Structure 1
């Protein structure tokens, strides 16, 4: 199945599309956002490192089989160059029935500019203990 579909937009737009695809449990849309390079990496909270499309797709398929993930990224800290963007966010995860443990998720999403547009090359999410930081909701952009 060819995946060379051109995805227009900035790293910010690809990131918005990523979280939207997760919310809709749209595996095809989600995987279309990843680079075609087999060295892509995904690390889910508390899980092993996954490398390559097959492993990453299989993990997301299993996760999304239970329905969409409603995640709101906030407190973006970003570093951009002409070909790479690194976004670090706090992920607000809407839990069913307001069940909320005293933890928060910190994620790093790395994007690379490819011939097909900006694509995800790494997603690494980790659970951190304690309440999420309450720093201002301003975006920090480093160039």
Structure 2
């Protein structure tokens, strides 16, 4: 199967969230770089490094076939001609369910190569309740 060529990081990101929503493993892996220097962290999960480990994690995650409604918002995008970093919020709901999961903050990193733009990092974490931080809002936490 020939991989699509994503002409922009935005195109790769749209394909990533579409594959996630459809639980389409092949489409998901078409977004990822085939280099072994890739990493993925699912909410509450360990850091997964390397192409084979990332493939297996996505295979297991998407095997149930649950279709998700994924609304991405508040994108902050930075980068240059070769690298793009997208910081977004993910609002996820299993299709047919009324309850949403906690808000997820995700960072997606893409690189541009001979076959277009590909994902090299996806890091997603639940956003804690602002009340958990007390009066830290005007300060940097780390």
TM range (shorter): 0.7 to 0.9
Structure 2 match to 1:25: 23
CA distance in structure 2 between the partners assigned to 1:121 and 1:110 by the alignment: 6
Unaligned regions of 5+ residues in structure 1, if any? 132-143
Unaligned regions of 5+ residues in structure 2, if any? 131-142
Q: Is the 8 A contact 2:19 2:27 kept in 1?
A: yes
Structure 2 match to 1:75: 74
Structure 1 match to 2:124: 125
Q: Is the 8 A contact 2:4 2:30 kept in 1?
A: no
> Is 2:110 aligned against 1:114?
no
**Structure 1 residue 6: Cα displacement:** 4.8
**Structure 1 residue 71: Cα displacement:** 1.3
> Is 2:70 aligned against 1:39?
no
Over 4 Å off, 4+ runs: none
> Is 2:98 aligned against 1:98?
yes
Deviation per CA, 1:51-87, whole angstroms, max 9, x where unpaired? 1121111111111122233211110000020100000
> Is 2:80 aligned against 1:51?
no
Q: Is the 8 A contact 1:35 1:114 kept in 2?
A: no
TM-score by length of 1: 0.82
**Structure 1 residue 97: Cα displacement:** 2.5
Structure 2 match to 1:15: 13
**Structure 1 residue 130: Cα displacement:** 2.5
TM-score by length of 2: 0.82
Number of paired residues?
Answer: 128
Q: Which has the higher contact order (CA 8 A, sep 6+)?
A: 1
